[in-house]
Chains A and B, each alone.
Chain A
Amino acid sequence: MLTLVLVGVLAFGLPLVLRSPTYLHILILLYLYAYLTTSWNLVGGFAGVLPMGHAVFVGIGAYTSTILSLQYGISPWFGMIVGGLLAVVAGTLIGLPTFKMRGAYFALATIAFSEGVRVIIENMDYLGPFKLNGPRGLQIPPLKTGLANLLFAHKEPYYYIILIMLIAVLAFTYFISRSKLGYYLNAGGEEPEAAMALGVNVAKCKLVAMAFSSFLTALAGTFWAQFTLFIHPKSVISLDLSFEIAFIALIGGRGSIAGPVLGALLLRPVSDFSRIYFGDKLPGLHLIIFGTVLILVMLYQPRGLQEPLTRIYDRIVERLCSDKASEQIAVSPAAKE
């Protein structure tokens, strides 16, 4: 608990010390990916299936709020909610036919859906009255800045918004994992037949989890659009994005609360710094590194790095505490004299 508060305070205080916009940018993306992966974890971790097309929800969130604000002047905050609800509809549509599939088939079906949506948007300039602008994407003019428009000239406000979103989604995940739904999802993911016999409607639980997950993911889509100010199908609905979310979850630890955050903490810097230093010579180097790390983790820690890391951390805390305790014992006889 103390550790959590300390980390929280540190995260909130960081922009006061760290003035470089580059590093803030990297941190914002780190939090964004931690947020996305935590949302993904509701389905991919708790429910025990492997969705590989979560970028489609990011895209839905990004496009919905952007179109609403560009064409109708509606605040992205409102567009965020609308995007979230649309993502719930999409998530349910994906979930209904696919949750009966197992393993790789479910992953393939979600990839297909996500790619399908991307190709459709790339080939469409208008969807009814809404301007999608095909592969050229949509640009948000950085004119009316301010909290109401979720548009800022500096990085700090974005930093705080995504940090608060991340803390909120982590708290939500914690709450879910200790609720009936959390128990049912875990049970259904591990032994569906046994879970059904114990009164768990496995398919329904997975759909509910998918609805939450897609809603939360779409919120991040809006944030992404407002942060980068330019979205196109390849940026927000790409397979790269879907895969990176899954990579982070698998390496950090699926189904745990800390896993996605740890995964993002470990992998995001790799991806950003490899792009900064090797971007011109070896583009895509981060994906090679990810792949290698993933293979190593799957071989030696198939349940992710979260477990060994917490064990090491606990041991350090224990060591520190016992040192203090032994010091006190050593001091007390002296005090008597």
Chain B
Amino acid sequence: MKILEVKGLIKNFGGLRAVDSLDLSVEEGQILSLIGPNGAGKSTVFNCIAGVYAPSAGEIHFQGAKINNQKPWDLCRKGLARTFQIVKPFASKTVLYNVMVGSFANTDKTAQAEEKALEVLTLLHLDDKKDVKAGNLTIADRKRLEIARALATRPGLLLLDEVMAGLRPTEVDEMVEIIRDLRNSGITIFVIEHIMRAIMALSDRIVVIHFGGKIAEGTPTEVASDPNVIKAYLGEEYVVS
């Protein structure tokens, strides 16, 4: 079943077309990656899906229902959670506090929210840092906190925007492991990522965009050998013909 379906998505910023008639869909239980060179429009696609931007044209369906123009907080309660490329922790608050803000999406009781938050923190191996102020965390832990907060809202679909950027190779491996575990626990995952090693290891399918339009789609091996993709990333002369 398709949990997310994007049809003919267009987003204009004034005269600039950031996303150009993009079609894509995410199957339930899959890990789909969205890749593309800098400025290709990946984050704009995420922001349209998550309700931050209103699409200029096209339709977005989540769990069978149209979600165009819905507010981010409503989408979150429906089970669509996201992280931000530039992490936005509530810096003056503790890690536990940060995650509890997420877990309040499903409960009004503080005790229940705390319980759920601790559960998520254990899952992401952040439980020993629960009383640390979020502003004092390392970048790797901040990225993890972003995921923990989103996870605490109990999403069906999780949008991860470059959660591995800026991590060391060992940390990337840990993150890949975490994302796999999440998928295995039944959460569908849609990632934007630049680190090809991680993408190749993680993805069930990959969508490549360039100048806002889709240029390739398929399994990791298919995409890696696609001449259009090589052209977009490396330039014309690298295509073996």
Chain A residues engaging chain B, CB cutoff 8 angstroms:
178-180, 183-184, 186-187, 190-191, 193-202, 303
Contact B72 A196 (CB under 8 A): yes
Given contacts A190-B93, A202-B73, 18 further A-B contacts (CB under 8 A): A183-B113, A186-B93, A186-B97, A193-B84, A196-B72, A196-B73, A197-B50, A197-B82, A198-B76, A198-B102, A198-B105, A198-B153, A199-B102, A199-B104, A199-B153, A200-B101, A201-B71, A303-B92
B118 within 8 A of A: no
Once the chains bind, are A196 and B71 in contact (CB under 8 Å)?
yes
Contact check: which of A191, A194, A199, A202 meets B105 at CB < 8 Å? Answer: A199
Given contacts A184-B101, A184-B104, A191-B89, contact A198 B113 (CB under 8 A): no
The answer to whether the Cβ of B124 comes within 8 Å of any Cβ in the partner chain is: no
Q: Which residues 78-122 of B sit at the A interface, judged by CB distance below 8 A?
A: 81-82, 84, 88-93, 97, 100-102, 104-105, 107-108, 110, 113
- Alpha-carbon distance between A198 and B105 when the two chains are bound, in angstroms: 7
Contacts of B100 in A (CB 8 A): 183
CB-defined contacts of B35 to chain A, threshold 8 Å: none
The answer to whether A180 touches B88 (Cβ under 8 A) is: no
**Is there contact, CB below 8 Å, between B73 and A180?**
no
B77 an interface residue at 8 Å Cβ cutoff? yes
Q: Could you list 16 A-B pairs, sorted by A, with CB under 8 Å? A: A178-B110, A180-B108, A183-B110, A186-B90, A190-B93, A191-B89, A194-B149, A196-B71, A196-B73, A196-B76, A197-B50, A197-B82, A198-B102, A199-B105, A200-B101, A201-B71
Given A190-B90, A190-B93, A193-B84, verify A180-B104 contact (CB < 8 Å).
yes
Instruction: Classify chain B's interface size.
Output: 20 to 34
- Cα–Cα distance between A193 and B89 once the two chains are bound (Å): 10
Residues of B within 8 A of A (CB): 50, 52, 71-73, 76-77, 81-82, 84, 88-93, 97, 100-102, 104-105, 107-108, 110, 113, 149-150, 152-153
* Bound CA span A62–B50, Å: 46
In the complex, chain A residues whose CB is within 8 Å of the CB of B102: 198-199
A199 to B150, CA, bound (A): 10
- Which of A183, A197, A201 lies in contact with B150, CB distance below 8 A? A197
The minimal Cβ–Cβ distance linking B107 to chain A, given in whole angstroms, is 8
Q: Which of B71, B77, B101, B107 is in CB contact (< 8 Å) with A195?
A: B101
Chain B residue contacts of A197, Cβ below 8 A:
50, 52, 72-73, 76, 81-82, 84, 150
- Is there an interface contact between A198 and B71, defined as CB atoms closer than 8 Å? no
Whether the Cβ atoms of A183 and B88 lie closer than 8 Å is no
Complex: chain A residue closest to B76, CB-CB: A199
Min CB gap A245→B, angstroms: 22
B88, A187: Cβ atoms closer than 8 Å? no
